[in-house]
């Protein structure tokens, strides 16, 4: 590759790109909208995912002992909890502490001084490392001697896990649709430039240019469409982030932490590579179809 | 240089464009293909530069089995031959110089070689002084000379011309034919499909006459119409 060849090649790409200016603007614009939607979606999804995992991580199992459970039985449960690798944290709440907590919680609502004796059992508050492990852990604990019942908000856990899974699947589907739409538009844009240059292509073929050589400028054009579109989308997203995030944080204080946790630099890379890859693949197929016929 | 054995070409619509042709063209030959429109002259040329694949038969061009040539190897064949058409097939947004250089650029030739070869070819076709002009600013004859310069810039061993003078006046026709003659003198094999009687009769070269996709005569020094010359040799 000498400088003359590079200049010729870049000239071809630039000429392609500027010849159908309106079509290129359409392609870049559509990719921009698509990537912006994708980015907004990823952004919201990342926030919601954080929110969901925050909620999930707060799920605990309450292990209630029988009121007449022996000290040995309580000790056995405590040992079992300490040994179990799945368990992140286990806090023992004695009868007396339980009553104190209850009193504090019910203050001003119910006068608990009417109680002559403590009706509460000893209990453990157990948090697992993975929220999905709560049901299995609870099930095992319930079988131990002296354990009356294990309560772990069964429905909430199941529901939350379900929602998280559904959100993940819906997200993948939506992203797939966005990518296909962007791909089709770039595909058509390249097809139009190929069509506009079919005379030139036939002459190239006539004088012995390889298909790879003919393909290159169009591939670069598609890549350029994708990358430019993604760049425009990132600009829009950055503006939206800068202007909306503080307001959102003020309106929904519990979201603030989650927004901050979204990894913006990796998202920039992701969106640029999605734009570029879509442009590359769509134009590759588009020219390939023409060259084969 | 060129050898065809039992070649037929049947189009998808059932038309037999080439119907059993055997033909040998030696290196350095100058051959006219004559015949009415639709007798297979263009189809025969298309088979030679692998625009078309023969339905049956064996085609060899410069040692390459064209009838077996894989799609990916077509560029290698095309770099060994030049093709000239009635409608010139020039790029209107490129200058004369750029049009000729284009053939070298797309085959990855380095700039030094391009700068050496293009002026040589423009000089040969007599267009050095118009190298910066665009095809629209040229006469038909000049456009065709540009196309010929592009066809020979690769130093091909074979030049295929499909009605090269079909759009030209007699003066330009004569000049183009003289140019093709000069290219032939430098050792390039030239095959010209034409229905220009004056050209064929004046040049007195080998004339292969086609009718309905078959060769009906093959004369060493022929005329456009059969029976005008005394030295004709009928062939198979």
| A205:B78 CB<8 A | yes
Q: Does B91 touch chain A (CB under 8 A)?
A: yes
Alpha-carbon gap, residue B201 to B223, rounded angstroms: 5
Q: Does A84 touch chain B (CB under 8 A)?
A: no
Q: Does A239 touch chain B (CB under 8 A)?
A: no
Low-confidence residues in chain A, pLDDT < 50: 256-257
Task: Give me the count of residues in chain A.
Answer: 293
| A207:B78 CB<8 A | yes
| B105:A2 CB<8 A | no
| B75:A209 CB<8 A | yes
- pLDDT at position B225 is 83
The residue of chain B with its CA nearest to that of A1 is B110
The residue of chain A with its CA nearest to that of B105 is A5
Please name the member of A2, A199, A207 whose beta carbon is closest to the beta carbon of B106: A207
Distances (CA, A) of A24 to A146, A226, A233, A281: 74, 10, 15, 17
Q: Does B134 touch chain A (CB under 8 A)?
A: no
The residue of chain A with its CA nearest to that of B107 is A209
- pLDDT at position A168 is 74
Q: Is the ipTM of this complex over 0.95?
A: no
Q: What are B128-144's pLDDT values in tens digits?
A: 999 999 999 999 999 99
- pLDDT at position B236 is 41
CA atoms within 13 A on the CB side of B34: 23
Annotate B81-149 with DSSP letters as a single string.
EEEEETT----TTS-HHHHHHHHHHTTT--HHHHHHHHHHHHHHHT-GGGTTS-GGGS-HHHHHHHHHH
> B78, B94, B106, B147: best mutation site toward chain A, by most A Cβ within 10 Å?
B106
Alpha-carbon gap, residue B105 to B84, rounded angstroms: 18
Q: Does B170 touch chain A (CB under 8 A)?
A: no
Q: What are A208-232's pLDDT values in tens digits?
A: 888 888 888 888 888 988 899 999 9
Please name the member of B77, B106, B154 whose beta carbon is closest to the beta carbon of A204: B106
Q: Does A14 touch chain B (CB under 8 A)?
A: no
> A2, A206, A288: best mutation site toward chain B, by most B Cβ within 10 Å?
A206
Strands across the sheet with B30-34, in order?
B81-85, B158-162, B189-193, B30-34, B206-211, B214-219
Alpha-carbon gap, residue A74 to A172, rounded angstroms: 47
| B79:A200 CB<8 A | no
Low-confidence residues in chain B, pLDDT < 70: 227-236
Closest among A265, A280, A101 to A183, alpha carbons compared: A280
- pLDDT at position B49 is 94
Say if residues B45 and B210 touch (Cβ distance below 8 Å). Answer: no
Q: Does B150 touch chain A (CB under 8 A)?
A: yes
- Joined together, the tokens standing for residue B105 give 């650029």
C-alpha dihedral (A234, A237, A238, A240), degrees to nearest 10 = 160
- pLDDT at position A51 is 65
- Chain B nearest CA to A183, separation (Å): 27
- pLDDT at position A258 is 53
C-alpha triplet B71, B76, B82: angle, nearest 5°: 110
| A206:B78 CB<8 A | yes
Closest among B17, B11, B52 to B212, alpha carbons compared: B17
Please name the member of B91, B111, B112 whose beta carbon is closest to the beta carbon of A203: B91
Please name the member of A3, A4, A213 whose beta carbon is closest to the beta carbon of B106: A213
- pLDDT at position A78 is 84
- pLDDT at position A232 is 93
The residue assigned the tokens 């339905």 is B55
Q: Does B78 touch chain A (CB under 8 A)?
A: yes
The residue of chain B with its CA nearest to that of A2 is B110
Closest among B157, B194, B80, B63 to B205, alpha carbons compared: B194
Q: Number of residue pairs across A and B with CB atoms under 8 Å?
A: 57
Please name the member of A8, A199, A211 whose beta carbon is closest to the beta carbon of B105: A8
- Helical H runs in chain A? 3-19, 21-57, 71-83, 95-106, 134-142, 154-196, 198-206, 211-251, 253-261, 264-292
Distances (CA, A) of B88 to A71, A242, B134: 103, 58, 13
- pLDDT at position A255 is 53
Which chain A residues are Cβ-neighbours of B72 within 8 angstroms?
Answer: 210-211
C-alpha triplet A210, A212, A217: angle, nearest 5°: 115
Alpha-carbon gap, residue A48 to A234, rounded angstroms: 20
**Is B114 exposed, middle or buried (CB count within 10 Å of its CB: 0-12, 13-18, 19+)?**
buried
Q: Does B149 touch chain A (CB under 8 A)?
A: no
Say if residues B181 and B203 touch (Cβ distance below 8 Å). Answer: yes
| A199:B76 CB<8 A | no
């Amino acid at each position: 590759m000498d400088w003359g060849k590079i200049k010729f090649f870049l000239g071809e790409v630039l000429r392609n790109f500027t010849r159908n200016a309106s079509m290129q603007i359409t392609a870049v614009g559509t990719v921009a909208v698509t990537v912006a939607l994708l980015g907004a979606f990823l952004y919201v999804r990342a926030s919601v995912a954080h929110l969901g995992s925050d909620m999930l991580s707060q799920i605990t199992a309450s292990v209630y002992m029988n009121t007449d459970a022996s000290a040995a039985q309580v000790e056995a449960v405590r040992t079992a909890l300490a040994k179990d690798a799945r368990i992140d944290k286990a806090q023992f709440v004695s009868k007396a502490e339980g009553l104190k907590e209850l009193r504090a919680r019910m203050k001003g609502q119910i006068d608990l001084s009417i109680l002559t004796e403590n009706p509460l059992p000893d209990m453990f508050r157990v948090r697992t490392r993975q929220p999905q492990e709560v049901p299995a852990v609870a099930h095992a604990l319930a079988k131990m001697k002296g354990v009356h019942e294990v309560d772990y908000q069964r429905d909430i856990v199941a529901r939350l896990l379900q929602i998280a899974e559904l959100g993940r699947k819906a997200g993948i589907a939506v992203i797939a649709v966005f990518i296909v739409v962007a791909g089709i538009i770039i595909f058509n844009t390249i097809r139009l430039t190929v069509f506009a240059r079919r005379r030139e292509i036939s002459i190239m073929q006539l004088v012995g240019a390889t298909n790879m050589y003919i393909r290159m400028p169009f591939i670069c054009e598609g890549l350029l469409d994708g990358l430019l579109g993604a760049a425009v989308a990132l600009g829009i997203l950055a503006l939206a982030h800068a202007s909306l995030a503080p307001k959102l944080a003020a309106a929904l204080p519990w979201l603030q932490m989650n927004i901050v946790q979204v990894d913006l630099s990796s998202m920039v890379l992701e969106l640029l590579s999605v734009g570029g890859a879509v442009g590359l693949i769509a134009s590759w197929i588009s020219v390939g179809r023409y060259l084969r016929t | 240089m060129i050898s065809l054995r039992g070649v037929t070409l049947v189009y998808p619509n059932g038309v037999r464009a080439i119907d059993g042709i055997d033909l040998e063209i030696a290196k350095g030959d100058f051959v006219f293909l004559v015949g009415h429109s639709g007798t297979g002259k263009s189809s025969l040329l298309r088979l030679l530069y692998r625009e078309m694949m023969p339905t049956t038969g064996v085609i060899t061009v410069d040692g390459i089995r064209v009838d077996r040539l894989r799609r990916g190897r077509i560029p290698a064949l095309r770099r060994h031959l030049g093709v000239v058409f009635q409608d010139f097939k020039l790029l209107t947004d490129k200058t004369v110089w750029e049009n000729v250089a284009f053939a070298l650029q797309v085959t990855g030739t380095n700039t030094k070689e391009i700068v050496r070869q293009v002026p040589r070819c423009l000089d040969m076709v007599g267009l050095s002084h118009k190298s910066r002009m665009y095809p629209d600013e040229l006469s038909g004859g000049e456009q065709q000379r540009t196309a010929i310069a592009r066809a020979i810039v690769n130093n091909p061993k074979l030049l295929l011309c499909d009605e090269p003078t079909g759009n030209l006046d007699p003066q330009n026709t004569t000049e183009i034919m003289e140019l093709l003659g000069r290219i032939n003198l430098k050792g390039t094999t030239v095959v010209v499909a034409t229905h220009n009687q004056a050209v064929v009769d004046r040049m007195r070269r080998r004339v292969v006459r086609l009718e309905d996709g078959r060769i009906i005569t093959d004369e060493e020094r022929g005329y456009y119409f059969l029976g005008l010359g005394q030295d004709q040799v009928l062939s198979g």
